[in-house]
Structure 1
């Protein structure tokens, strides 16, 4: 066996044995302080304890999550490098970018951690209260009404692309580097709306217009679903853990088991709920099927909308 393979097997063995000397890095391909980063830091202490390792978080942001994700794809498949990401980096970017640095199948799903409805929100001073208000303003100024997203090809961008197509309107997409910068731009009046995590509504005193979900959210009970308004637009904001493709099944099973126990831990449930990041656990087989369905859904929307970037 080549030396590199022997070293990888040794590291995987340390992880499987739960030896505290093993160090695992969990790459979050988004800036610190964003929703995905918050989730990572809420689960990290208990997940490290369940694995019996030192679990180090590294934020490697940029290019709508693709820089950090590509780093994990290139890492040795020995269980010592993990990816915790929201869905855009895995389900959207490989279809959105013609020269994307990886494919979704180059990652091994470990577990789904959280899922929440994407929420369309606006400052209370914008004068926009409903989807009909947005449509009317956009028709009065085609291509000029600005909306924010956390990045080109991110969920907020794709969700609004679906909505503008459904309404037959044109709007001005203004991308930012994460939801934090987007909210700041709304507060400054640069943009009028954003599709992102529901917790931002309460955190920044915003108005929730609608949710891209199958049912209304407990966090924004007065905001209707797009389905209620006659538009079949369901875009969940999900976060999951992945390993490089080729990671041994025994290691993936151990990671998945630790994930399941972490997400059942009362302290994690409490803090995730308080932070408005609802836990939804799927094991690695279920999560794999879920990811494949999401990849197919966004590939279809990107193709139909002509959004694929040539890079």
Structure 2
């Protein structure tokens, strides 16, 4: 497990102001009552875990696995709700306008929160507007075709794409998302031109594949086991084969250095006091150590991650550099 460094900071003037007005922490949790920080009495009421994607996708599955344990650790009910749209952009835009008290936190994904503000004029937020609390899992990209497809291997896929430039469609979850950039990476590395078709989430992308509306899906590793014999996984974007998916070859072993996917965590508005952020981060770290959750992650091909607030920023900067390099070469950066 990666070590989590303490996100050390003093609430300072923010806490003083909250204490003076009595509006901190949503229900008395803010301010410096009794000399403590804003998190001393947080939380004192129900929390809302908002997902900016459709129900049924990887973010939803993860949140459902976390929900009961998270409520136990925080001592309050945790309600899950959904605000899909724009590959997550609608929700993240609204998050920037929510009260910065910690009572509403939202699922946030890399590379989505990097790519959308970088490439869309209408994203409605900037990466820095979201204060990342914790990154708790990742899912590598995986290229899937219907089980009855003539495509058996990655070489078959590339050959078909070269024979019909621009004609093959690859669906995925969201615009300017991990699935989207994974498709761009494959186009770049293999010298092909397939058309990426975005859906509002995995929950809508999968039916499009099974219904024959797209030729393939750039999805995530959990879909391989969830869809079973309905699909054929022709490549997964990891350095080595995943222990839970030993029969699925990697892009790397098939001659293409494509190693990428989505990192999932939660974020809050940027003005949320640091000690409340840390209390939430501590809760997610504790949940990530629950044996039942760890087993469930492994069984569903999620990769357990532990990035606290500072580490999440570092990872974001690292991935941003990779994506900027690719998109600049593809002349896609405005």
Fold agreement, TM-score > 0.5: yes
* Helix, strand or coil at the partner of 1:290: helix
What is residue 257 of structure 2 aligned with on the other side? 232
Alpha-carbon deviation of 1:169?
A: 1.3
What is residue 311 of structure 2 aligned with on the other side? 286
For 1:301 and 1:106, how far apart are their aligned partners in 2? 24
* Helix, strand or coil at the partner of 2:254: coil
For 2:311 and 2:19, how far apart are their aligned partners in 1? 35
Structure 2 residue aligned with 1:222, among 226, 247, 255? 247
What is residue 244 of structure 1 aligned with on the other side? 269
The CA RMSD over aligned residues, in Å, is 2.3
What is residue 40 of structure 1 aligned with on the other side? 63
For 1:8 and 1:18, how far apart are their aligned partners in 2? 10
Change (3 A) 1:64 1:19: closer
What is residue 163 of structure 2 aligned with on the other side? 140
What is residue 237 of structure 2 aligned with on the other side? 212
For 2:59 and 2:124, how far apart are their aligned partners in 1? 21
Alpha-carbon deviation of 1:27?
A: 1.4
Alpha-carbon deviation of 1:136?
A: 0.9
What is residue 96 of structure 1 aligned with on the other side? 119
Alpha-carbon deviation of 1:19?
A: 6.1
For 1:195 and 1:293, how far apart are their aligned partners in 2? 23
Alpha-carbon deviation of 1:20?
A: 6.4
What is residue 134 of structure 2 aligned with on the other side? 111
Change (3 A) 1:53 1:166: same
1:63-74 matches, within 5 Å, as: 63-74=86-97
For 1:296 and 1:257, how far apart are their aligned partners in 2? 28
1:1-311 matches, within 5 Å, as: 1=17, 6-9=22-25, 10-12=28-30, 16-17=39-40, 21-204=44-227, 205=229, 206-307=231-332
Unmatched 5+ residue regions in structure 1?
A: none
What is residue 8 of structure 2 aligned with on the other side? none
Contact kept, 8 Å, 1:98 with 1:308, in 2: the verdict is no
TM-score, structure 2 normalization: 0.85
For 1:94 and 1:45, how far apart are their aligned partners in 2? 33
Change (3 A) 1:65 1:122: same
Alpha-carbon deviation of 1:45?
A: 1.4
Change (3 A) 1:5 1:273: farther
Change (3 A) 1:21 1:250: closer
